[in-house]
Amino acid sequence: MIVGQQKKAEEIIKMLGEDWDSLLIAGCGTCVTVSLAGGEREVEALANLLKIYYGKKGKKVTISTDTVTRQCDFEFIDDIGEKIEDHDVILSLACGVGVQHLVERHPQKVVFPGLNTSFYGATTGVGEWAERCVGCGECILDRFGGVCPVARCSKSLLNGPCGGAQDGKCEVDDDIDCGWELIYNRLKDLNLLESLLVFEDPKDWQHYRDGGPRKLINKEYYNE
Amino acid sequence: MSEPMSLLQKKLEAGHFVVCSELGPPIGANVDFIKKKARKLVGYVDGVNVTDNQTAIVRMSSIVAAHFAREEGLEMIIQATTRDRNRIGLQSDILGASSLGLNNVLCLTGDHQSFGMDPGSKNVFDLDSVQLIRAVHNMVHKGVLLNGKEMKVPPKMFIGAAANPFGDPFEMQMMKVEKKIEAGAQFIQTQAIYNLDKFEYWMEEVRKRGIHEKAYIMAGILPAKSVKALRMMKTDVAGMDVPDSLIERMEKCEDPEEEGVKVAIEIIERVRKIEGIRGIHLMPVGWEKITPEIIERAGLYPRPEVE
């Protein structure tokens, strides 16, 4: 899923400015709900906080809330289409995809991002998420024992570790596991260590961001 | 075997035990700084590495600094890390370096940018060190670029790689060394050695795998002038193994600089006896002026001449 982190209240308040009377805080019910950043609960909490803030300041505002299933589908955005049009500004607590999709559906509206979109990750503990994939567009997990060197090695090395790791920890930070040690341990368990000697060609980064913004069409379903 | 690409390769092929040292380019555009440092090394070394934005700190480019040092009469080894340049930039620089008469290259991944003063910079790592070695090998020996384009005048490069005998896990690190040689590395310069027992064990494993017969191995020597420097290396430098006994020895001594030289000479004497070690690579970080003294006292002066 996409993991997000809510921006600090001060940043949000500064971003919103003064030039509005009504604000809709729009949550997203999928990924960022799971990462406890932009779901219904966070939307309500932020609304309460902003109401107190503007109340104390003496600014008369209307702050409404709503959370849709997914902001990355027009179908769900349209559930609150009228509400969006009724408010001066929108604060989206979806990931960057959701924010832009709102903008696309409501081109006349000012939409602010309430989250920082962090990464694609998994839940690794209570209140903890970790990056597992960068979306390189050409999956190579088959050759690395199911541990991604692109996402989990700080240098995205494909032909083995650098010399900087110590005690299984990355040279960048002791909190980061050396991705290559994870690959090594996994291949050892699978009795596939010899595969570490296979030369891995330079990756074709065109499938990643380096080929420009990506688009996918499934011809079976696509309606021109 | 094909014709040697460089003077350093000639010396190694002639069977000489070689001495390489290192020169760090300035943070600034000071040419005299390089020339002065270079002149002090003339006659004492068979090759001088010029680091490539080491520890991810902006410095004068390795190739340009190497060019100026070469003008003073030194044989140079440029360093190329994959951190800052993609395959286009790296190959372009290999062509440029060769055309300047810089015909040795050490291919590295490079320290992560979080080590330096620009942790917010975007890293590149388009290639890794093994892929870079293969790319340079194909440029030099097959006359083709990574994209398959043929060159009428290919570059000339004697290709080197780094190895860390103290990196974890041991077996995986060893496999990476094998991979580098398979990709085209002709010489290896090791991480600085303080833990000799561990290094000897590593060399045993190197010999078992026949690595020493496929590449010239130079042992890394880093003379430390203070106990503070040693402690810093132990805790802050990625992949270093500094035994506590050595730190104690430096603590107890009266003249740390003299002790540092002695330690370096002892290490040189011990690694010279190891089968498969074909030279040393001195890296007196921040203490470059000590290089001639160490080389003389280790009995490695004067350096051999080759035709």
pLDDT (tens place) for every residue of chain A, 224 residues total: 999 999 999 999 999 999 999 999 999 999 999 999 999 999 999 999 999 999 999 999 999 999 999 999 999 999 999 999 999 999 999 999 999 999 999 999 999 999 999 999 999 999 999 999 999 999 999 999 999 999 999 999 999 999 888 889 999 999 999 999 999 999 999 999 999 999 999 999 999 999 999 999 999 999 87
Strand arrangement, sheet containing A128-133: A2-6, A115-125, A128-133
CATH topology of domain A2-118: Rossmann fold (3.40.50)
d(C-alpha B284, C-alpha B163), whole Å: 18
- Exposure string (b/e) for B59-81, b if CB count within 10 Å is 16 or more? bbbbbbbbbbbbebebbbbbbbb
B227 touches chain A (CB under 8 A): no
Task: Please determine, for residue B167, whether its predicted confidence score (pLDDT) is greater than 90.
Answer: no
Task: Please determine, for residue B165, whether its predicted confidence score (pLDDT) is greater than 70.
Answer: yes
Task: Please determine, for residue B238, whether its predicted confidence score (pLDDT) is greater than 80.
Answer: no
What are the residues whose beta carbons fall under 8 Å from the beta carbon of B196, sequence distance 6 or more? Answer: B267, B270, B271
B168 touches chain A (CB under 8 A): yes
B131 touches chain A (CB under 8 A): yes
Q: Where are the alpha helices (DSSP H) in chain B?
A: 7-13, 31-41, 62-71, 87-99, 129-137, 170-183, 196-208, 211-214, 227-236, 244-252, 256-272, 291-297
pLDDT tens per residue, range B35-66? 999 999 999 999 999 999 999 999 999 999 99
Architecture of the domain defined by B7-297: Alpha-Beta Barrel (3.20)
Nearest Cβ partner of B109 from A157, A166, A193?
A: A157
Per-residue pLDDT, B240: 87
Nearest Cβ partner of B173 from A161, A167, A205?
A: A161
Please answer yes or no on whether A202 and B164 come within 8 Å at the CB atom: no
B115 touches chain A (CB under 8 A): yes
pLDDT-derived band at B6 (thresholds 50, 70, 90) equals very high
Break chain A into its structural domains and give their ranges: 2-118, 135-211
pLDDT-derived band at B145 (thresholds 50, 70, 90) equals very high
Per-residue pLDDT, B134: 98
pLDDT-derived band at B220 (thresholds 50, 70, 90) equals very high
Per-residue pLDDT, B1: 54
Complex confidence, ipTM: 0.94
Query: Are residues A180 and A157 in contact, defined by beta-carbon separation less than 8 angstroms?
Result: yes
**Shortest alpha-carbon distance between residue B80 and chain A (Å):** 15
Nearest Cβ partner of A159 from B115, B123, B128?
A: B128
B257 touches chain A (CB under 8 A): no
Q: What rounded mean pLDDT belongs to chain B?
A: 96
Please answer yes or no on whether A199 and B130 come within 8 Å at the CB atom: yes
Interface probe with B: pick from A136, A156, A162, A175, most Cβ of B within 10 Å: A162
Mean pLDDT of the B189-201 span:
97
Please answer yes or no on whether B130 and A163 come within 8 Å at the CB atom: no
Please answer yes or no on whether A163 and B126 come within 8 Å at the CB atom: no
B133 touches chain A (CB under 8 A): no
